[in-house]
Amino acid sequence: MSRAALVFGGSRGIGAAIALRMARDGFDVALTYVSRPDSAETVAAEIHAMGRKALPIRADSADPAAIAAAVEETVSHLGLLDVAVVNAGLLRLGPVESVSLVDLDQMLAVNVRGVFLAIQASVARMRDGGRVITIGSNTAIRTGSPGSSVYAMTKAAVAAMVKGVALDLAPRAITANNIQPGPTETDMTAAMAERLKEIVPLKRIGQPAEIAALAAYLAGNEAGYMTGASLTIDGGYVL
C-alpha cells in the first residue's frame, strides 16, 4: 500500500527539503505553494524522478477554504494521509511600536490559525497511526534580536498547540510533534547568513536537509512513542 504525505509550504527551503525526503522514504507527496509555481513544479519533477507521485497545489495558508481544499485534493489523488507537515509560515519583523495591524493579523492568520486549520483538516482525512509535524522556530524559546515579538509569539503558540493536539489524537495513535529550527540556509536568511554564523555556537547555519532528516524520523515507525514534543535544532543557539 502506498503512503501519502502532505507538506504545507513545500515548494522552497525547509518545506521543499522535507517533501523530497518524504519521497525518498517512499511517500507519494502533495505540496502546497502560494507564489512560486515554478519552484513547486521543480520539486514535483524531482519527486517524479524518484518514482513517486507528486502533486503541487496552490493554497494560501491564510485562506481556510484553500487549506481544506488542499487536503481533499491530496486525498483524491494520493489516498488517505499518513503524514501531514505544516511548514507554511510568514515572517515580518518590526519593533513593537511600529507593527501594523495588517502585519499582525497576517502573521496570526498564517502562523497560528493556518497551522491549526491545516492540522484539523488533515487529521480528519488521516489514517490512524499517522503523523502530524509542525515546523515552528527556536524563537519560541529565545528571540535573540529586536523586532521579532510577533513572530516569536506565533511560534510559541504552535509549540503550545501541539501539546493539546497530541492529547486529542492519542486515542487514534496519531502523534503530533513540533520541530524548532534555528538559522537555516533558505531564501529568508540569505541576506543575514554571515551574521547568523557568528552567533550560532557551531559557527554555521543549518541546512534544510538536516531539518528534513528530523522530520523523517518523526514520520517513521521509530518515533511512535514521541508525541507533544518540541525539538529544537539550531546549532546550540538557545543554550
SS3 56: strand
pLDDT of residue 143: 84
C-alpha cell read off for 64: 481556510
pLDDT band at 229 (very low <50, low <70, confident <90, very high): very high
β-partners of residue 86 are: 8, 134
Domains contained in the chain, CATH given: 3-233 (3.40.50.720)
Q: What is the DSSP string of 101-137?
A: HHHHHHHHIIIIIHHHHHHHHHHTTEEEEEEEEEE--
pLDDT band at 190 (very low <50, low <70, confident <90, very high): low
Flag whether pLDDT at 238 surpasses 70: yes
Round to whole Å and give the CA distance between 191 and 180: 21
pLDDT of residue 26: 97
Round to whole Å and give the CA distance between 168 and 176: 10
Amino acid identity at 142: R
- pTM for this prediction: 0.95
pLDDT of residue 73: 98
On whether the CB atoms of residues 115 and 65 are closer than 8 A, the answer is: no
On whether the CB atoms of residues 71 and 122 are closer than 8 A, the answer is: yes
pLDDT band at 214 (very low <50, low <70, confident <90, very high): very high
Residue positions annotated with a catalytic role: 151
* pLDDT, the chain, mean: 95
Burial class (CB in 10 A: 0-12, 13-18, 19+), 237: buried
Q: Which residue has the cell 525539538?
A: 231
Q: What are phi and psi of 122, to 5 degrees?
A: -70, -45
On whether the CB atoms of residues 85 and 127 are closer than 8 A, the answer is: no
DSSP-derived secondary structure letter, 26: T
Q: Where are the beta strands (DSSP E) in the chain?
A: 3-8, 27-33, 54-58, 81-86, 126-135, 175-181, 230-233
